[in-house]
């Protein structure tokens, strides 16, 4: 339970955020717990995260602002381990370095800045730019479907939105839908418009569509396979089946050798006839 000071401070900060929003960042406290905040970072242009929708949580201690929050990002990004506490100077890993003057907006601006850098810390991962672009393109699908788990409901079992400290693929998108109902609706409309397979996150083929498509749609055509540096991602492949080479292509060396000896034999016979 929040102290009176924490409640007053967080309430004031939320009012300020509503009046003066920060670019690429939206956030709000949970309706049931003012110490539990949810944020969405939109990937900035010119980065591998461009247009990605990255959802995470800030869990504030009751004594805030004299102690920092735990910071997690639930959406797979290729930058952070999903739902893992991040070791940053603005997080609960370093309470002594936290400045009480820092606010929620300050914390999220710092998180976005760290995300777009390549500095490593506890909770961060390495991935290629192409891997991160694929995850950015799949982020809306992941958030609203729980990584596709909305199609695998167990009969007689009701999903719960509890356990926000460990929101990974498996809740069918329930927690995201609870905290971001308008964004969730937009995501489903977006998936329908772009023919996204809600079970896999991959784009469904449209034989009537033009061959060219946007970079974001192109990324959705790629699929993660094998094991790679980004958790759950692996190597990025086109998904197109390579055509088998013909008989001549597979045996072009031997054909060349046969032609060479054939030419030599014919030349010799012609010389013998002339002699």
* Domain containing residue 190: CATH number: 3.10.110.10
Q: Does 258 lie in the same domain as 156?
A: no
Q: Does 62 lie in the same domain as 139?
A: yes
Q: Does 257 lie in the same domain as 125?
A: no
SS (H, E, C) 135-180: HHHHHHHHHHHCCCHHHCCCCCCCCCCCCHHHCCCCCCCHHHHHHC
pLDDT at 237: 29
Q: Does 258 lie in the same domain as 127?
A: no
pLDDT at 208: 73
Q: Does 260 lie in the same domain as 215?
A: no
Helix (H, G, I), strand (E, B) or coil at 194: coil
pLDDT at 251: 62
Q: Does 166 lie in the same domain as 194?
A: yes
Q: Which of 138, 173, 147, 142 is nearest to 159 (CA)?
A: 173
pLDDT at 250: 56
Q: Does 115 lie in the same domain as 192?
A: yes
Q: Does 259 lie in the same domain as 199?
A: no
Is residue 149 a contact partner of residue 200, using CB atoms and an 8 Å limit?
no
Q: Does 169 lie in the same domain as 221?
A: yes
Q: Which is more confidently placed, 263 or 52?
A: 52
CA gap 109, 23 in Å, rounded: 9
Q: Does 179 lie in the same domain as 268?
A: no
Number of domains in the chain: 2
Selection from 117-121, 203-207, 240-244 with the highest mean pLDDT: 117-121
Whether residue 233 has pLDDT greater than 60: no
Q: Does 201 lie in the same domain as 274?
A: no
205, two tokens:
């083929």
Is residue 75 a contact partner of residue 82, using CB atoms and an 8 Å limit?
yes
Catalytic residue among 87, 169, 213, 235: 87
Q: Which is more confidently placed, 18 or 221?
A: 18
**In angstroms, what CA-CA distances link 208 with 193, 212, 221, 223, 233?**
14, 12, 16, 22, 30
pLDDT at 223: 56
Residue 150 pLDDT level (bands cut at 50, 70, 90): confident
Residue 130 pLDDT level (bands cut at 50, 70, 90): very high
Print the domain residue range for 253: 247-275
Whether residue 103 has pLDDT greater than 60: yes
53, two tokens:
């929708």
pLDDT at 154: 47
DSSP string, 91-120: STT-GGG--TT--HHHHHHHHHHHHTS---
Selection from 185-189, 244-248, 262-266 with the highest mean pLDDT: 185-189
Read off the pLDDT of each residue in 221-245 and give the average, rounded to a whole number: 40
Q: Does 218 lie in the same domain as 98?
A: yes
pLDDT at 98: 95
Residue 222 pLDDT level (bands cut at 50, 70, 90): low
For this structure, is 213 an active site residue? no
Lowest-confidence segment of 4-8, 54-58, 80-84, 236-240 by average pLDDT: 236-240
């Amino acid at each position: 339970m929040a102290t009176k000071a924490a409640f007053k401070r967080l309430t004031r900060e939320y009012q300020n955020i509503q009046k003066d929003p920060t670019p690429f960042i939206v956030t709000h406290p949970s309706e049931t717990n003012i110490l539990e905040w949810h944020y969405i970072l939109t990937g900035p242009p010119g980065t591998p995260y461009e247009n990605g929708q990255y959802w995470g949580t800030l869990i504030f201690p009751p004594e805030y602002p004299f102690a920092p929050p735990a910071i997690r990002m639930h959406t797979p990004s290729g930058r952070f381990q999903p739902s893992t506490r991040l070791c940053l100077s603005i997080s609960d890993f370093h309470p002594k370095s936290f400045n009480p003057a820092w606010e929620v907006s300050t914390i999220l601006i710092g998180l976005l800045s760290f995300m777009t850098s390549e500095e490593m810390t506890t909770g961060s991962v390495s991935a290629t730019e192409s891997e991160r672009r694929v995850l950015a393109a799949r982020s809306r699908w992941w958030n609203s479907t729980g990584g596709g788990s909305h199609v695998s409901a167990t009969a007689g079992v009701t999903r719960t939105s509890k356990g926000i400290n460990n929101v990974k693929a498996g809740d069918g998108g329930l927690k995201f839908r609870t905290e971001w109902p308008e964004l969730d609706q937009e995501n489903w409309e977006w998936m329908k418009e772009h023919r996204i397979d809600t079970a896999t996150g991959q784009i469904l083929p449209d034989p009537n569509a033009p061959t060219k498509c946007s970079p974001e749609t192109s990324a959705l055509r790629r699929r993660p396979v094998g094991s790679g540096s980004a958790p759950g991602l692996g190597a990025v492949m086109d998904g197109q089946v390579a055509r088998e080479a013909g008989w001549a292509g597979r045996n072009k060396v031997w054909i060349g050798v046969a032609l060479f000896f054939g030419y030599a034999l014919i030349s010799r016979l012609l010389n013998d006839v002339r002699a």
